[in-house]
Chain A
Amino acid sequence: MSNIIEFKNATKTFGGVAAFKNVDFTLKPGEIHALLGENGAGKSTLTKVMSGVYRLSEGQLFHEGRAVEFGSPSEALKAGIAMVFQETNLVPAMTVAQNLYLGEEKFFNRLRGLNIQARQFLAGMGFQVDPTAQVSTLGAAHKQMVEIARAVHHKARVLIFDEPTATLTPEEKRHFFNLVNRLVKQGVAIVFITHALEEALEVADRVTVMRDGEVVATGKAADFTRNSIVQAMVGRNLSETLHGEARRAPRGYGEKVLSVENLSCAGLVRNSSFSVFAGQVTGMFGLVGAGRTEMAKVVSGVMKRNLFHGGEIRLFGKSVRYRVPRPAMLDGIVYVTEDRKFDGFFETMTAGENLQIGELSNGSNPVSVVSLSRARELVDDWGARLKLKQINDRARMIELSGGNQQKVVIAKSLIQKPRLIIFDEPTRGVDVGAIVEIHQLINDLADQGMAVVVISSYLPEIMAVSDRILVVKRGRVVEEMMVSDATEEKIMFAAVH
């Protein structure tokens, strides 16, 4: 069978840093091809080249045997290659039918006709979605169905899914795979990026594993086992810490640092209560949009809770209400953001200067003299402690790798001497080596007696670092369990049901 997509010796670099290099990859019509690898291995970038978001720096991309270079996602779509993104690409304020036919409306657009057309089309695919429903009211699974339907409508011959099942309930997952199988029978090729290895082994025909931007293993799914994939993915023996297979006794309860009662905030957090203890890692799991981040932001003063019926927050037994983050920081609460580029670091400054700002944030005298050599001292000191790799003294933050950026952001927060530190998705967009080091750091902090909260939507991470796990659903903490009692299934069950 001929290949519908083929990469030959392909390399993509961003500013001199290779996202992937010398990659050979083939995709055949009518197959499900699982693309595996840790965060930062280059999977997403590879698929983004396929779907026209990026262009290759070197090497070639063949589509049905012809060398092609897609200039934009719409060009790729015309060639029949569609990507279903993790964060959906639908217009939330429009209906399902309007989203399906977006961009091809007739001059006189008749909604009724559109709805009928959409209803037939969706029914033909076996989707139970109301075409007149507004997309913002749909759940994650239905949104994904609409995306898939849109891709099929555009006669996609190659469908790329980036973590399609992360937000789905078990039942929705079954529906999803049924649909995928039906598409495959029609000869559609599927690329499937996932972290759920069992799932990949179960549904995929072929598997390709990437590590540090290179393809390290590829072959028939039947030839792989979970362990051999993990081995290939991490390349060294990290699997235990990374995937939470090592069960351990949870740490005990220290002093009660934070207690939150009936917290409410603008419909995102509803009547939520929980506590955080010193010397322990409290994991907060929830699907995207469950309100975990908002809870953390209210606690750390980034957001304000409701003025009336907003609930109560107590820090070491003292009732507090923060309108801005500064008093929270001075009281020892530090929030490490999930989106470091947006509100985590100062991009035109060097790593050392960023750390120095952390040191300066505690002071009160505005005209105290700042030592310019202190920035270098800080970066040397913390660089050794956090294993910052090869930081050029003069490199600006924006030029560092994701892992180094995250370490600097964490170091900057630790310099502020927090008593309660909240990590929001601490390993998002971080390379595999750094993930392990950051997890180790989180454990060390708890061992030193700090109260640590880790928010994550990646179950293995929650299992790996937490002592106590809080599950958040629709703006509320709905379940609490010790890690020794928890299984991934139990947590997921609480988060989606």
Chain B
Amino acid sequence: MAGDKKATPAILGRGPGKPIKINQEWVVIAISVILFVVFSLGLDKFLSEGNIIALLKNVSILGTLAVGMGFVVVGRGIDLTMVAVMVVGVAFSIWISSWGIDFTLAALIGAGLAALLGLFTGIMIAFAEIPPIFATLAIASSIYGSGRIVFASDVLYAPNNVQWLKWIGSGTVFGLPASVIIFGVVAAAMGIFLRKTRFGRLVYATGDNPSAARNMGLPTRPLIVTQYVISALIAFTAGLIMTGLVTGINTRLYNSSLIYDVLLVVVLGGIGLSGGQGGVRNVIVGTILVGILTNGMTILNFSYTSQNLIKSIILLIALAIDAIINPRDEQTSQSGDI
């Protein structure tokens, strides 16, 4: 009988892990490349310099929002208030600047308001323990509703004598639009923050297993509150990019499908909604795909509705492929418990 010592390691040990894992991230990159090639060959306008710049500008707003959303989702939350905070925060800045306050100061006050809104959301989720999806859904409507009451009109135009706002709209650094640079800076800062700081590691831990994080004495509540404050500030930043690009902000943007596009970017990129996985790299991958796709469909003159339909189908396919490649079944879930 083979009951000797050799039997033990086979049970305790594991074989070497697979060096390369085909995961959602690579699938999305592959789809992006294919789409890019197809659009480049099929659409003569696609590769023009003007179009690429337009693509990048569009992507910068979406990508910035997605960085904030990804950050919250990694911690097993979700922030549906982002678009509301973005439009109301910036509209508030413009509104108070119309009283004669310098716009730079007004923007700082607006950022303060955004941070306060994030703080409130975070407290509702961390301390009142409302599930994030419901808390942020309700708070988003409240923020937008309050904004609609205060600001008389839907569209607020920024003063046209603010230098840095003009720079965001039309400035370039090394040939790249300033808005893209801002997106890059936000993404890079978040990437370093998540990977390299104590706070970032604890966010992953909390997202992976909130009960274990709480049990071992991690400051889970302050962590959650901070995440929503940061995501609100990132939303405000995205709002400033938008104001710079189109010289004003349309608060009705809240009613568009923008927040779902942000979620699409995050989920497509491979940040699992169950938390603890993925990072800024996934956000960038998702942003590139959605950016190429939206741009191509716009050139092809697809209607807004059919664009949404196509995006949702792609989301479903990505999720299905991920589920097939990385199955969660009896075998993987039980392996530790023999």
Contact = CB atoms under 8 A, between A and B. Distances in A.
Given A326-B219, A358-B216, A429-B337, A214 B1 contact: yes
Interface stretch (B60-68, B109-117, B197-205, B279-287): B197-205
Interface in A334-349: 334-335, 337, 341-349
B277 interface: yes
A14 B17 contact: no
Q: Which 10 A-B pairs have the closest CB atoms?
A: A329-B217, A390-B13, A15-B335, A343-B211, A366-B199, A346-B208, A389-B12, A19-B338, A326-B217, A14-B335
A302 interface: yes
A104 to B, nearest CB: 29
A398 B105 CA distance: 51
A171 B293 CA distance: 73
A22 B12 CA distance: 18
B201 to A, nearest CB: 5
A16 B197 contact: no
Interface string A338-378: 00011111111100010011101101011111101000000
15 contacts: A14-B331, A14-B334, A16-B335, A325-B216, A334-B216, A343-B211, A347-B209, A348-B276, A348-B277, A349-B205, A361-B218, A389-B9, A392-B15, A402-B338, A431-B338
Report, as a range, how many residues of chain B touch the other chain.
35 or more
A327 to B, nearest CB: 8
Given A367-B199, A402-B338, A395 B277 contact: no
A80 to B, nearest CB: 25
Interface string A183-217: 00000000000000000000000000001111010
Interface of B: 1-3, 7-17, 193, 195-202, 204-205, 208-209, 211-221, 226, 276-277, 330-338
A348 B326 CA distance: 13
Given A370-B200, A402-B337, A429-B337, 12 more contacts: A15-B334, A16-B335, A45-B338, A54-B330, A302-B214, A353-B201, A392-B14, A401-B11, A401-B13, A402-B336, A412-B216, A433-B12
A235 B3 contact: yes
Interface string A373-388: 0000000000000000
Nearest to A331: B217
Contacts of A93: none
Contacts of A214: 1-3, 7
Contacts of A329: 216-217
Given A14-B331, A216-B3, A348-B276, A416 B16 contact: no
Nearest to A369: B196
Contact of B11 (A18, A22, A335, A363): A18
Contacts of B220: 324
Interface string A389-400: 111101101111
Interface residues of A, number: 72
Contacts of A246: none
Contacts of A475: none
A108 B338 CA distance: 44
Given A363-B198, A390-B13, A392-B17, A343 B338 contact: no
B217 A17 contact: no
Contacts of A42: 338
A83 B7 CA distance: 29
B205 A401 contact: no
A84 B21 CA distance: 41
A272 interface: no
A330 interface: yes
B272 to A, nearest CB: 9
B11 A17 contact: yes
A413 interface: yes
Contact of A431 (B11, B200, B216): B11
A164 interface: no
Contacts of A98: none
Given A328-B217, A401-B336, A212 B7 contact: yes
B216 A18 contact: no
Nearest to B212: A343
Contact of B332 (A15, A344, A392, A397): A15
A390 B7 CA distance: 14
B212 to A, nearest CB: 5
